[in-house]
Structure 1
Amino acid sequence: MQVDDTDRRILRHLQADPAQSMAALARSANVTEATASRRLERLRQRGILKGQQAVIDWRKLGWEVEVSLRVSLDKTHPHAFDEFSAAAREVPEVIEIQSFLGRVDMRLQVIARDMAHYQEVYRSRILTLPHISDIEALMHIAEIKRGETLPI
Structure 2
Amino acid sequence: MIELDEQDRAILAALSRDATQTAAALGGRIGLSQPATWRRIKRLRESGVLAGQRVALDAQALGFGVTVFLGVKLATKGRVSLEDFERAVAAIPEVQLVEHVLGLYDYRLRVVARDLADFERVLRRRVMTLPGVGDVEANVLLSEERRPGPI
The two structures, once aligned, show a CA RMSD in angstroms of 1.5
Q: What percent of counterpart residues are identical?
A: 36
Give the TM-score normalised by the residue count of structure 1: 0.90
The residue number in structure 2 matching 1:32 is: 33
Distance 2:122 2:18 in 1: 36
Alignment gaps of 5+ in structure 1:
none
The residue number in structure 2 matching 1:103 is: 104
Distance 1:146 1:7 in 2: 21
The residue number in structure 2 matching 1:43 is: 44
Asked whether the 8 Å contact 1:66–1:109 carries over to 2, the reply is yes
The residue number in structure 1 matching 2:147 is: 146
The residue number in structure 1 matching 2:81 is: 80
The residue number in structure 1 matching 2:69 is: 68
Asked whether the 8 Å contact 2:80–2:132 carries over to 1, the reply is no
Q: Deviations over 1:41-81 (max 9, x none)?
A: 11101100112211010110101111111011125416432
The residue number in structure 2 matching 1:91 is: 92
Please give the secondary structure, in 2, of the residue aligned with 1:72.
strand
Distance 1:43 1:69 in 2: 34
User: What number of residue pairs does the alignment pair up?
Assistant: 150
**Which 4+ stretches in 1 moved above 4 angstroms?**
none
Asked whether the 8 Å contact 1:7–1:39 carries over to 2, the reply is yes
Give the TM-score normalised by the residue count of structure 2: 0.91
Distance 2:76 2:101 in 1: 13
1:106, distance to aligned residue in structure 2 (A): 0.2
Asked whether the 8 Å contact 1:13–1:29 carries over to 2, the reply is no
Asked whether the 8 Å contact 1:88–1:94 carries over to 2, the reply is yes
1:119, distance to aligned residue in structure 2 (A): 1.3
